[in-house]
Structures are given as C-alpha cells and as structure tokens.
C-alpha cells in the first residue's frame, strides 16, 4: 500500500509537469486546429535556457533567485520563440491551399520546424547531457505514509498555481474571450473586431511559456538536458492532450495527470519498461470508444 501511495504522489507530480506541456498543444489546436509538433522542441530549448541562466546566477549557492530567474527568463525566451515560429512558419501558410492542403501544409511545416530545432540544438550545444544544479536539496516531505521530494512538491505546487491562473486568463480576460471566440468561429470573430493574428501569436506565446515552466521543473527533478529530450515528453504530452480532449484546456490537465499516474503505476509491475506502450494502448482504446477524448465534444463542421 505504501508503494502504491508513493507511486500515486509521484505520478501526480509527473502528470502535472506533462499537463503544462500538453496545454500548449491543446491551446494551439483549439485556435488553429493545428498540431504544433515543434512545441516539444520549444520545451527542449527552454530547458537549455533555464540551465544556462541558473548556472550564471550561481544556483548552487543562491537557489531561490537562480530558480525564479531561470524560470522567468526561460518562459520569456520560449514565448518569443513560439511567436517567431508562428510568424515565420505558420502565418504565411494560413488559408492557403485548397481542401485538405489547408491543414496538411502547416502540419508538414510543424514537423520540419521540429527537426530544425533538434539539429540546431545539437549544433549549438552538442549531444552532451547537462545536469541542472540541485536547487531543492535532498529533503523530503511526508504525505501520509509516502514521501515526496522538495522538487516534486514544487512541481505540483507550481503546476496547480499555473493551471488555475491559466483558467482565470481564459475565462475572465479579454484575451481569453477572444481566444474562445476564435476557436468557435474565426470569420465571425474577425467580423466582431478581434485581431485574429494577434490572438494567435499570443496563444503561441502563452502555450510556449507554459512548456518552459514544465521544462525547468522537469530537469530540476529527474532529467538532464540533451537535444532529444523533447521527443519523449512531447509525445506523452500530445497523448495527454488527445486523451483529455484536444482543444480542451481542462481536458489537457486531466490527461496529463492520468498519464503521469498511469506511468508510475506501471513501474510497480514487471512491465516497467513498457510505460509508453501502455500509454498508447490506452489512447487507442479511448479514441475507439470516445474519439473526442474524455472531456472533448464532437463538433459538426460545415464545409
């Protein structure tokens, strides 16, 4: 029972980090109906930025300033990167082509940007694995009979705060209303005076900044930084977004938590190496039973 409780606590922390990345996929799809496969590479590049800033701010001796400063600068860099990717890679293709090409062309471009960023990271930073300096020490918190490290407690706390803040932004601000209007009907939103290009760019920036938070927390807790790190987490985050209901922010949060808990539970069995296999099996089952995802709703599109 203690092992199950510990796995549940760890899975919630892991799932919260995955949910932060999944939110970026879900937000962009909700607005543009586009899977931004370059999002996982924004996650990876943000991890490098966070590492360099934390080291520059002497994270080993000044952990609070270095951690906050590294996270904030990584978020700003990721937001700028997301806006540039949208402006250069996707905006020129928006609305061009006919039929299925309207969506296929940006999708191929997203894959191309993803590969470009992977190779750029290897060129700039080499394939060397780089560890983050320890900022949280080795202490643990007790959650019932289970223990949770300070880093995982920070991941869970920060993720909850970020998700609540995002929910408030989407439901209570002008930007959130504009984003929801654009998701419902782009042409109608434009006729109502919504600057669609600005809203789309802001959506890319916000989603990318959330990925940066997840990247820094993930590397502080359980991973070193390397050019291909975005592939694993990006894949799980994409599955989480689809599982919860692609385009649904609450669904992305739920999907991330479920993926995290499921992965930790599988590690307690003799099939601990097949976490990703089981994740995709669950995804296939959900899509067969409920194609729109757990919290998604099927829409009828007029053509």
CATH number of the domain at 120, please.
1.10.3470
Max mean pLDDT among 42-46, 57-61, 177-181 falls in: 42-46
Has residue 113 been placed in a domain? yes
Has residue 300 been placed in a domain? no
Between CA 224 and CA 219 the distance in angstroms is 6
Q: What percent of the chain has pLDDT over 90?
A: 25
Has residue 185 been placed in a domain? yes
What total of structural domains would you count in the chain? Answer: 1
Q: Is pLDDT at 1 greater than 80 in this prediction?
A: no
Between CA 294 and CA 73 the distance in angstroms is 34
The closest alpha carbon to 132, from 193, 37, 60, belongs to 60
- What confidence category does residue 303 fall into, taking pLDDT thresholds of 50, 70 and 90? very low
Contacts of 59 (CB under 8 A, 6+ apart): 66, 67, 70, 132, 133, 135
Has residue 12 been placed in a domain? yes
Q: What is the pTM of this model?
A: 0.88
pLDDT in tens, 105-136: 788 888 899 999 999 999 999 989 999 988 87
pLDDT in tens, 234-246: 888 988 988 888 8
- Mean pLDDT value across residues 278-303: 75
Range of the domain at 24: 2-127+142-289
Between CA 66 and CA 54 the distance in angstroms is 5
Has residue 191 been placed in a domain? yes
Lowest mean per-residue pLDDT among 32-46, 56-70, 98-112, 195-209: 98-112
Helical H segments across the chain, by residue range: 2-32, 39-56, 63-85, 101-125, 150-172, 174-184, 186-191, 196-221, 229-244, 249-266, 275-289
Has residue 192 been placed in a domain? yes
Q: What is the DSSP string of 184-252?
A: H-HHHHHHTT--HHHHHHHHHHHHHHHHHHHHHHHHHHT--B-TTHHHHHHHHHHHHHHHH-TT-HHHH
Max mean pLDDT among 59-68, 88-97, 225-234 falls in: 225-234
Has residue 147 been placed in a domain? yes
Has residue 54 been placed in a domain? yes
pLDDT in tens, 257-269: 889 888 888 888 8
């Amino acid at each position: 029972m203690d092992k199950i409780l510990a796995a549940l606590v760890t899975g919630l922390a892991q799932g919260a980090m995955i949910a932060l990345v999944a939110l970026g996929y879900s937000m962009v799809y909700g607005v543009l109906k586009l899977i931004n496969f370059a999002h996982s590479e924004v996650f990876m590049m943000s991890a490098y930025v966070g590492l360099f800033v934390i080291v520059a701010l002497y994270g080993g001796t000044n952990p609070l300033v270095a951690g906050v400063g590294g996270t904030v600068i990584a978020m700003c860099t990721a937001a700028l990167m997301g806006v540039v990717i949208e402006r250069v890679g996707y905006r020129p293709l928006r609305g061009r082509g006919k039929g299925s090409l309207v969506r296929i062309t940006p999708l191929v471009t997203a894959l191309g940007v993803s590969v470009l960023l992977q190779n750029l990271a290897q060129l700039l930073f080499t394939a060397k694995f780089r560890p983050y300096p320890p900022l949280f020490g080795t202490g643990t918190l007790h959650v019932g009979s289970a223990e949770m490290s300070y880093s995982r407690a920070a991941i869970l706390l920060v993720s909850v705060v970020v998700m609540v803040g995002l929910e408030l932004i989407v439901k209570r601000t002008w930007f959130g209303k504009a984003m929801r209007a654009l998701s419902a009907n782009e042409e109608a939103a434009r006729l109502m005076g919504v600057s669609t290009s600005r809203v789309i760019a802001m959506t890319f920036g916000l989603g990318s900044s959330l990925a940066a938070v997840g990247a820094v927390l993930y590397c502080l807790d359980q991973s070193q930084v390397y050019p291909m790190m975005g592939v694993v987490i990006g894949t799980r985050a994409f599955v989480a977004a689809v599982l919860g209901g692609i385009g649904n922010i609450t669904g992305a949060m739920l999907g991330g938590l479920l993926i995290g808990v499921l992965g930790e539970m599988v590690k307690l069995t003799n099939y601990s190496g097949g976490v990703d296999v089981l994740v995709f099996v669950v995804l296939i089952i959900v899509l067969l039973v409920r194609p729109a995802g757990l919290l998604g709703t099927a829409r009828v599109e007029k053509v």
